[in-house]
Amino acid sequence: MADANFKELKKGGFMKQKQKDRFSMRLKTIGGQVTIEQLETIRHVAETYGHGYIHLTSRQGIEIPFIALEDIDTVKKELAQGGVQNGVCGARLRTITACQGNAVCPSGLIDTQHIARECEARYGGREFPAKFKIGITGCPNNCLKTEENDLGIKGGIEPQWHHDDCIFCGLCQAVCPSSAITVDKKEKTLSFTADQCLFCGKCVTTCPSSAWVGTAGYNVSLGGLYGKQITIGRHFLPLLHSEEELYRVIDVVLDFFENHAKPGERFAKTVERIGWDTVERLVREVL
């Protein structure tokens, strides 16, 4: 098979194995969720056309190894009949990862699965000069390690304290993981160091008198890279409180990457080459 055909197969989620004419087929998942119907279809295909097992990737993906070249069309057809699509590889937006978010997790501050589905609908499969990864996590516990992604979205709450409602019980100080809050019960004073705040919202959810309040939002990081070279994504934006703001930021970032990246150059390297000040200016202009 010509190299061009291999590239086309990889684009459609079929990755060449070391074994001749055998491929590991990557399946499409969004936010790590797969239905029972889809699982049954995947089981059937893996048993019939593979070696009877699947591989779970580090980015919440499913792969079926040992698909024969001559079975690819049949496999795609049978998967589609069971509601399963083949995934993508190569220079495009990759699988969007997400934790369970506030629909399930007690710590979740945002609806991660909704954001993942919306991002897939807006940007899924979009081609770029190099691969681009989006990860979404529901709170600062950061189960999805958002700063490893080209663009990370983390749920957060920016707390505000109302003096008149405070009973100075000290619970907020006790639960604050970054020691940003200090309460003097005798003097009935409270100090809050905003620069130390992790936006976890524990003070808000724990306060018995509702002296601490806040609305959940999206904490965006940019430029993460985790592979042969490691770069931690940067935070320079305020907490975003609307989905419309979030998607405007994503639109600007993806357009910038598409227009300025060199072939094979990851987003972090593109920004380093052109300058973080340029990206920051473009992003802030849409807020």
The confidence score (pLDDT) of residue 227 equals: 87
What is the Cα–Cα distance from 116 to 33, expressed in whole angstroms?
A: 10
What pLDDT, on a 0 to 100 scale, did the predictor assign at position 2? 45
* Helices first, then strands: H and E counts in the chain: 9, 14
Q: What is the mean pLDDT of residues 139-161?
A: 97
How distant is the alpha carbon of residue 100 from its chain centre?
A: 12
Name the more confident of 5 and 270.
270
85 and 125 Cβ atoms separated by less than 8 Å: no
What is 160-213's CATH topology?
Alpha-Beta Plaits (3.30.70)
Is the fold of 3-81 the same as that of 160-213? yes
CATH code for the domain defined by 3-81 = 3.30.70.3340
Domain limits, the chain: 3-81, 97-157+216-284, 160-213
Residue 126, phi then psi, degrees to nearest 5: -60, 135
The answer to whether residue 10 scores a pLDDT higher than 90 is no
Going by C-alpha positions, the residue among 54, 81, 63 that lies closest to residue 16 is 63
Give the pLDDT confidence of 72-115 residue by residue, as tens digits: 999 999 999 999 999 989 999 999 999 999 999 999 999 999 99
CATH number given to 97-157+216-284: 3.30.413.10
Alpha carbon distance, N-terminus to C-terminus of the chain:
49
